[in-house]
Structure 1
Amino acid sequence: MQFKDYYQVLGVAPDADEKAIKAAFRRLARKYHPDVSKEADAEDKFKAANEAYEVLGDAARRAEYDHLRASGYRPGDEFQPPPWAGQGQGGGGFEGFGDSGFSDFFESLFGRGRSAGPGRARTPADVRAHLDIDLEAAYAGSRQRIDVNGRTLEVKIPAGIAPGQSIRLKGQGGNGRDLLLEIGYRRHPLYELEGRDVIVRRQIPPWLAVFGGKIEVPTLGGNVNLNVPAGSDGGRRLRLRGRGMPGTPAGDQFVVLEIQTPKPSSEAQREAYRDLARAFGASVEDAAAE
Structure 2
Amino acid sequence: MKFKDYYATLEVEREASAEEIKKAYRKLARKYHPDVAKEAGAEDKFKEISEAYQTLSDPEKRQAYDDLGRHGPGEEFHPSPEWDSRFSRGGQQEVDLADLFERMGFGGGGGFGGGTGDPRRPGADFPIRGQDVEVATELTLEQAARGTEVSFSLSVPALRADGRVEKQSRSGRIRVPRGVVEGERLRVPGKGGDGIAGGPPGDLYLEIRLAPHSRFKAVGHDLYLELPIAPWEAALGAEITVPSLDGTVAVSLKPGMRSGQKLRLAGKGLPHRREGAGDLYGVIQIVLPEKIGEREQALYRELAEASAFHPRLHLEGPTDG
Same fold (TM over 0.5): yes
Give the equivalent residue in structure 2 for 1:146. 152
Pair 1:187-2:247 in alignment: no
Rounded to whole Å, the distance in 2 between the matches of 1:156 and 1:212 is 45
Distance of aligned partners of 1:210 and 1:108 in 2 relative to their CA distance in 1, 3 Å threshold? farther
Q: CA deviation at 1:82?
A: 10
Give the equivalent residue in structure 2 for 1:71. none
Pair 1:250-2:277 in alignment: yes
Rounded to whole Å, the distance in 2 between the matches of 1:214 and 1:141 is 33
Pair 1:166-2:166 in alignment: no
Rounded to whole Å, the distance in 1 between the matches of 2:192 and 2:252 is 51
Rounded to whole Å, the distance in 2 between the matches of 1:263 and 1:210 is 19
Distance of aligned partners of 1:230 and 1:107 in 2 relative to their CA distance in 1, 3 Å threshold? farther
Rounded to whole Å, the distance in 2 between the matches of 1:106 and 1:221 is 55
Rounded to whole Å, the distance in 1 between the matches of 2:178 and 2:45 is 40
Q: CA deviation at 1:162?
A: 2.2
Match of 1:231 among 251, 256, 271: 256
Rounded to whole Å, the distance in 2 between the matches of 1:172 and 1:107 is 30
Q: CA deviation at 1:243?
A: 0.9
Rounded to whole Å, the distance in 2 between the matches of 1:194 and 1:242 is 14
Rounded to whole Å, the distance in 2 between the matches of 1:250 and 1:256 is 19
* 1:140-179 CA distance string (max 9 Å, x none): 1111223224554222111111233222333333423322
Residue identity opposite 1:251 in structure 2: G
Q: How does 1:1-290 map to 2 (within 5 A)?
A: 88-90=27-29, 97-98=34-35, 100=36, 105=42, 122-149=128-155, 150-175=169-194, 176-247=201-272, 249-280=276-307
Q: Secondary structure at the match of 2:304?
A: helix
Percent sequence identity over aligned pairs: 29
Residue identity opposite 1:88 in structure 2: K
Checking the alignment, whether the CA contact within 8 Å between 2:34 and 2:43 is kept in structure 1 is no
Q: TM-score, normalised by structure 1?
A: 0.56
Rounded to whole Å, the distance in 2 between the matches of 1:120 and 1:107 is 20
Provide the aligned C-alpha RMSD in A: 3.6
Q: CA deviation at 1:102?
A: 5.2
Rounded to whole Å, the distance in 2 between the matches of 1:180 and 1:106 is 26
Checking the alignment, whether the CA contact within 8 Å between 1:86 and 1:108 is kept in structure 2 is no
Unaligned runs of 5+ in 2: 1-7, 12-23, 47-124, 156-168, 195-200, 310-321
Q: Secondary structure at the match of 1:187?
A: coil
Max Rg structure: 2
* 1:180-199 CA distance string (max 9 Å, x none): 11212223232123332111
Residue identity opposite 1:164 in structure 2: G
Q: TM-score, normalised by structure 2?
A: 0.51
Rounded to whole Å, the distance in 2 between the matches of 1:251 and 1:140 is 14
Give the equivalent residue in structure 1 for 2:103. none
Distance of aligned partners of 1:252 and 1:81 in 2 relative to their CA distance in 1, 3 Å threshold? farther
Give the equivalent residue in structure 2 for 1:38. none
Distance of aligned partners of 1:281 and 1:101 in 2 relative to their CA distance in 1, 3 Å threshold? closer
Give the equivalent residue in structure 1 for 2:101. none
* 1:187-228 CA distance string (max 9 Å, x none): 323212333211111100011111111211111222211111
The number of equivalent residue pairs is 191
Residue identity opposite 2:265 in structure 1: L
